[in-house]
A and B are shown apart, each in its own frame.
Chain A
Amino acid sequence: MSQEFAHTPAGGAYAANVGAPGDRIDPVLAADRADIAASLLGDQDGYARLVSRYEAIIGTQMWRFTRDISTHEELVQEVFVEGYMSLAGFRGRAPFEHWIRRIATRVGYRFWRKESRERDRRQAMEQWRHTAKTAVVDRSPSQAAECLFQLLETLPPKDRLVLTLFYFEGWDMGEIADRVGWSRTLVKVRAHRARRKLRTLLEAEGFGSSGSTPDPIGELGQ
């Protein structure tokens, strides 16, 4: 027997965009549609299925925003709570995964803005120096991620967001613009500037500058 939430995302334009009943669609998309429709009616089980279907994906994404286990779990929860509250605004034009990942990006960015201070950014550089020294040879993916995380932590939140999505998620400029809600040009310019900052920062730490590397932002951004 399904239960109902205390909060129900009333109404919504979703039903008008789900397609005709005879349409052949991906089974995951079909399951999402059914669960969204149930959730909009206040069915707790419907939303529980959506959460368990996407918690791993959102968990991976939110790990890019914090390396602290308990904060990580809180952020993942926050994404799904915010997702439920905004569900009435889900129009069904894009897959649910894209929509919830956009919310995840917003939640993560908001978290950074709240906690980001100049002092923390300076501390991040100190931490990076330590991690980079202890993991020079045969870095594990986790050590590399830690190192990159600390390096990106030295940037202001907007720069950090663009490069986090670019490096960790492997999204191109168009995808980042779509998920963050900024223009493609703005994202591209910000990414260039942020990379230049990082280069300056690393060169000050003794990294050389051959200038021979092709810029992947330029390539992906086309």
Chain B
Amino acid sequence: MNDALDYIDALAKQARAESAPRVHVTGHVLARLSAPRRRIDTHMAVLAAASAAMAAITITLSIWSRLAPPDPLETMIEVSSLLGL
């Protein structure tokens, strides 16, 4: 056997005689089809949405507080307290 493709053809000829393992899947298939569909509970959905909204607000406030300039009134009070006024 000289040719590489001869080798593959010979392998294929032999391989076709192989029997596959026997399977009995009827029960499993029926069980999978009979299983109730997963549904997202309404309460869980509301809770998830509320949590996401809270997280978004927290992150926004955190970013805003870092970016915002110092409040002039707060600065005046701090300076006054430092000066003992």
Chain A positions near chain B (C-beta within 8 angstroms): 3, 5-7, 44, 47-48, 51-52, 55-56, 59-60, 62-63, 69, 72-73, 76-77, 80-81, 84, 139-142, 144-145, 147-149, 151, 167-168, 170, 195, 198-199, 201-203, 207-213, 215-216
Contact = CB atoms under 8 A, between A and B. Distances in A.
A142 B5 CA distance: 20
A142 B21 CA distance: 11
Interface of B: 2-12, 14-26, 28-30, 32-37
Nearest to B23: A59
A55 B26 contact: yes
B8 A209 contact: no
Given A5-B30, A69-B21, A72-B23, 5 more contacts: A5-B34, A48-B30, A55-B23, A55-B25, A141-B14
Given A7-B33, A80-B29, A167-B15, A56 B5 contact: no
Q: Is the interface of B mostly helix, strand, loop or mixed?
A: helix
Contacts of A144: 10-12, 14-15, 18
Contacts of A142: 18
A38 to B, nearest CB: 14
Contacts of B7: 202, 207
Given A141-B14, A148-B8, A208 B36 contact: no
Contacts of B26: 48, 51-52, 55
Contacts, number: 133
A154 to B, nearest CB: 12
Interface centre among B9, B10, B17, B20 (most CB of A within 10 A): B20
A211 B15 contact: no
A7 to B, nearest CB: 6
Contacts of B2: 207-210, 212
Contacts of A168: 12, 15-16
A77 B3 contact: no
Contact of A77 (B4, B18, B22, B29): B29
A138 to B, nearest CB: 10
Contacts of B21: 59, 63, 69, 72
A110 to B, nearest CB: 17
A210 B34 contact: no
Contacts of B3: 207-213
Nearest to A61: B20
Contacts of A195: 5, 8
A134 to B, nearest CB: 14
Given A167-B15, A208-B2, A56 B29 contact: no
A198 B14 contact: no
A6 B21 CA distance: 30
B44 to A, nearest CB: 21
Contact of B22 (A6, A56, A167, A208): A56
